[in-house]
Amino acid sequence: MKMIYFILIALSCIYPGIKNRKTFSSAPLQYRGADQLMGQAKLLLQDGDLVVRLHADPTSRFIQHFNRTDKNYSHAGIVLMENGHPVVYHIVNDNEIPDEKMRKDPVEKFCDPRKILSFGVFRYNLDSAELKRLKKIIHLWYGKGIRFDPTFNYNTNDKMYCSEMISKALKQATGGRILIGKTHLTTTEANLFSGYTGLPSSYTKKLSIVAIDNLYVNKFCELVEHYHY
């Protein structure tokens, strides 16, 4: 409970003008219900698509504000089609997942309207060979049971956080053609991040992370659709 209060207070102090900031947006489609919305989304999904979401919990509200351009989302995964159905590969830090291993979830679970406020689909300009390599890399890491990295250290590969995993997979699959940028934390953000993660402030002040919007606000990716429950 104390952590929730800390996050909410921090956001109210640092981001009072959030509504006036530039966002990367598209008019949301309107649907009668979540089932119809999900049905429409599943028809659009393809191998290699990026799916981003905003969870309803306060932690997600904290994470989304490290985005510099579009603050609509807080978590990301990669879609692969399996037996004709889209599944989302991702790494998440969640109390309900004690081992914090890389996981794959049906898109309906990843975008569960009981927990998720909104989600978006984006598509990278991958050719067939790059897409094949991407799938091989994702399957390899899943098989190894890559775990969540609580230190957010981009220079190690035995543990990763969600956007780091996607960034590195794209770089390897495309032979360095697709390079995802990183976001350096401000001093205030570094101090907050230190309080949130328990990492020393001397470490977080030097930290650059792959923010969620780094994954799709770039020349390699295009919007498929935004969805709001």
Task: State pLDDT tens for residues 71-127.
Answer: 999 999 999 999 999 999 999 987 666 789 999 999 999 999 999 999 999 999 999
Q: With respect to residue 9, please indicate whether it lies within any of the assigned structural domains.
A: no
Q: Mean pLDDT score of the chain, rounded to an integer? A: 87
CATH number assigned to the domain comprising residue 162 = 3.90.1720.10
Q: What is the pLDDT of residue 95?
A: 65
Q: What is the pLDDT of residue 93?
A: 85
Mean pLDDT across the stretch 52-56?
A: 96
Percent of the residues in the chain that have a pLDDT greater than 90, as a whole number: 76
Separation of alpha carbons 219 and 107, rounded Å? 25
Q: With respect to residue 1, please indicate whether it lies within any of the assigned structural domains.
A: no
Domain count along the chain: 1
Six-digit token string for 86: 């889209």
Q: With respect to residue 8, please indicate whether it lies within any of the assigned structural domains.
A: no
pLDDT tens digit string along 170-223?
999 999 999 999 999 999 999 999 998 999 999 999 999 999 999 999 999 999
Separation of alpha carbons 178 and 172, rounded Å? 9
Instruction: Collect all residues with Cβ–Cβ distance below 8 Å to 173 and sequence separation of at least 6.
Output: 126, 130, 131, 133, 134, 137
Q: How confident is the model at residue 32 (pLDDT cuts 50, 70, 90)?
A: low
Q: How confident is the model at residue 3 (pLDDT cuts 50, 70, 90)?
A: very low
Q: With respect to residue 64, please indicate whether it lies within any of the assigned structural domains.
A: yes
Q: With respect to residue 93, please indicate whether it lies within any of the assigned structural domains.
A: yes
Q: What is the pLDDT of residue 14?
A: 41
Q: With respect to residue 22, please indicate whether it lies within any of the assigned structural domains.
A: no
Choose among 38, 44, 52, 59: nearest CA to 114: 38
The count of other CB atoms within 10 Å of the CB of residue 169 is 24
Q: What is the pLDDT of residue 35?
A: 86
Q: With respect to residue 21, please indicate whether it lies within any of the assigned structural domains.
A: no
Q: What is the pLDDT of residue 7?
A: 45
Q: What is the pLDDT of residue 9?
A: 39
Q: What is the pLDDT of residue 175?
A: 98
Question: Which has the higher per-residue pLDDT, 35 or 23?
Answer: 35
Choose among 211, 31, 165: nearest CA to 111: 31
Range of the domain at 98: 28-228
Residue 138, Cα to own-chain centre: how many angstroms?
A: 15
Q: With respect to residue 200, please indicate whether it lies within any of the assigned structural domains.
A: yes
The model scores a pTM over 0.95: no
